Structure 1
């Protein structure tokens, strides 16, 4: 099927195109032969991942200006007071590659990747659409970054909306509502609301929420923090939430307690699968949400502590969710794979290979793009959580 064929890509990234939409995952600072570039040097590694991203886009006949979403995962283990300076150092390299205007972006600090020594990893989404069909969203009531960047708060193409990572910050990139978790959550949701409003959408049009919450090593405190965040989200967005993925990290600006990005579809009827009784991701009722040809699957949590059975368990759950909305593994466009715990941190390559092996049992040799990230913690202390987006063009075209 030509509209849904995986692109032949070198090892530093994986990509898959569905019509005009391209999904790119697992962009690492490595050579096509698998050699790590720029060991210990965030600037060298940032150059490497953006060069690989450019190759991925070019392989699909697209350009950097076609990007609508860019997620950057990076590692920083220094003093907290130096975290913003580190981000700025990394971002000054990113500015050499980012178009103007740039994509809606989320950059989060994580424990590591699925590759030892990797300090940065990208995953992205691009859309081949003329400039006249692309709406950049920069609400007047918003926050700004600590240094000038061409990034966007959101993009809209057709009915699709991408909302970049929103934080409780001011126009100078400084955290606000310090120490006030409900206040910060309210501020973040207000930023998302204004992006949606400018796109002609509202909270009811959300198809996905990704919640990054502060996890500083105290698992109980982190769990309480997430529960409080989700309570505010429910109070503001309504009880029936879209698919939600939540993971614990160290945040960029000092004083930040959370960051949220989102996607939405405007004005399309959706088919949602509600699984209240068996919901493993307690954050949302909707584990699967189908909107036209697009399918969002919430963060599916493993029910086993050891990684090998955890990977098999989550992949089996994924297959059931796709089947429940009349789709199949061939529609998978990208998976986020969040892992936590000593087993993954001690042997990240082995953890990534375990997930790839489990996914191969579902998808065969043609694996969809997936991005493996090691985080500080996951809801309820699980070792693995996976979310997914799928695009089912065949089902969409059927009468």
Structure 2
């Protein structure tokens, strides 16, 4: 890759789009679904309800462009911004979700909703990313364990799905059947509750912790980096004890959480009955789990969160993508197989100019992949492990030449 300082002008980059998708056979990945119109103009400034309608219309358009429907969704991640009083956070989520309910299929996807500091697009209050399968619902297994928690308002979402060997586990929290946080003030207790919920989803899907290929850990970060780091290490200690080592590909990031009193949320993926190939940590990478950095099961690859050695955002974009590409090569693949990337930014410079952060990352990704970019979702966060400014994880599908992009 060339130095960004000698690259083409940022004005020459691909324009901001309302979504991107990439399809591999029956599997579709949609990312960066923003409240934008076709010209890249923000819809509904300051209005979470208008923006929620916009992102779901864009998601529906992406699915239809790829030949799928909302009923084909198996995973849906929602990132949203809320800056009001903490006591009103759940009310805000419910207001947003009542709009989402107008678009959710029934049964709905396994879902995770995470409150973030911002997006890579100025003024955006919500962003979606999704996975869908061109497989009839009747040929998939919906997973709704008897031992589980529930949302604070009725929703048609699912705790998990299985199709073939693949299992998707929606975001699990330490809550009860009324959506109220439990084990308040007890980090290890909440972590154990979350992992028990994951275990029951896996169990109903015919899987165990040993089948996990990815864990995404959202942990409470209230502005104190040292306290947040200690919280993450305590969570990882319980995860290691419960799930065994080595851990699968892990991504972790600091956020404010939905329900008052929650300290973490975890979602997961698994592959049942398929031999797995892994790439372990290397000493050159600023990784913080010292575990699996890439995990391959058949054609599916999960790359753990990769961080840079620099906190400056511009060189970090290139370095992190180089590390993602290296991990793909370590399991016999490459950037051509990228299906979706999560771009997690904690750099203060991005808070001042989120659009610049988006342009810098897009340019670095163009250098790696060319103009046919894989989908990616960029969010700004309260903090990342080890004080990193940028972390990127990825999912890839290694089917030779069977990807169609927009």
What TM-score results when the alignment is normalised by the length of structure 1? 0.96
1:262-281 alignment, distance < 5 Å: 262-275=268-281, 277-281=283-287
Give the number of the structure with larger relative contact order, counting CA–CA contacts within 8 Å between residues 6 or more apart: 2
Change (3 A) 1:10 1:219: closer
| Structure 2 counterpart of 1:231 | 237
CA contact (8 A) 2:72 2:137 kept: no
Q: CA deviation at 1:301?
A: 0.7
Indicate if the aligned counterparts of 2:16 and 2:40 stay in contact, CA closer than 8 A.
no
The answer to whether the aligner puts 1:215 opposite 2:221 as a matched pair is: yes
* Per-residue CA distance 1:332-384 (angstroms, 9 max, x = gap): 00000000121011000100110111111110111100000001000011100
8 Å contact kept, 1:279–1:285: no
- Note closer, same or farther for the CA distance 1:283–1:395 as it changes in structure 2 (3 Å cut): farther
Equivalent-residue separation in structure 1 for 2:264 and 2:166 (angstroms): 24
Q: For residues 304-383 of structure 1, what are the structure 2 equivalents within 5 Å?
A: 304-383=310-389
Contact 1:31 1:37 in 2 (8 A): yes
Q: 1:91 Cα deviation (Å)?
A: 0.1
Post-superposition offset of 1:277: 3.6
**1:74–1:112 contact (8 Å) kept in structure 2:** yes
Give the stretch that moved more between structures: 313-322 or 371-380.
313-322
Find the residue that maps to 2:99 and give its secondary structure.
helix
1:57-112 per-position Cα deviation (integer Å, ceiling 9, x unaligned): 00011000000000000000001000000000000000000000000000000000
Q: 1:238-257 maps to which residues of 2 (within 5 A)?
A: 238-257=244-263
Q: Which residue of 1 aligns with 2:80?
A: 74
Whole-angstrom CA distance in 2 between matches of 1:281 and 1:156: 30
For 2:97, which of 91, 101, 105 is the aligned residue?
91
* 1:259 maps to 2:268: no
TM-score, with normalisation over the residues of structure 2?
0.94
The separation in 2 between residues aligned to 1:181 and 1:10, in whole angstroms, is 40
Q: Following TM superposition, by how much is the alpha carbon of 1:279 offset from its aligned partner in structure 2, in angstroms?
A: 4.7
CA distance in 2, matches of 1:395, 1:25: 20
8 Å Cα contact 1:279/1:287 also seen in 2: no
CA distance in 1, matches of 2:285, 2:118: 28
Indicate yes or no: 2:49 matched with 1:43.
yes
Contact 1:243 1:284 in 2 (8 A): no
Of the candidates 293, 302, 324, which is equivalent to residue 296 of structure 1? 302
Deviations 1:275-330 (A, max 9, x none): 25445222251000010001100000111111010001001111111111111111
Question: 1:284, 1:211 → 2: CA distance?
Answer: 16
Distance 1:257 1:370 in 2: 26
Aligned to 1:3: none
Over the residues paired in the alignment, what is the CA RMSD in angstroms?
A: 1.3
Q: 1:88 and 1:148, CA in 2 relative to 1: closer, same or farther beyond 3 A?
A: same
Residue aligning to 1:286: 292
Q: Contact 2:228/2:254 (CA < 8 Å) preserved in 1?
A: yes
Give the unaligned 5+ runs of structure 1.
1-8
* Number of equivalences: 388
Counterpart of 1:386 (choices 374, 387, 392) is 392
Is contact 1:84–1:252 with CA below 8 Å preserved after alignment?
A: yes
Would the aligned equivalents of 1:10 and 1:32 in 2 still touch at CA under 8 Å?
no
Structure 2 equivalent of residue 123 of structure 1:
129
1:174-213 Cα shifts (integer Å, max 9, x gaps)? 0000000000000000000000000000000000000000
Q: Decide whether the 8 Å contact of 2:144 with 2:201 is kept in 1.
A: yes
Gaps (5+ residues) in structure 2?
Answer: 1-14
> What are the within-5 Å matches in structure 2 for residues 29-178 of structure 1?
29-178=35-184
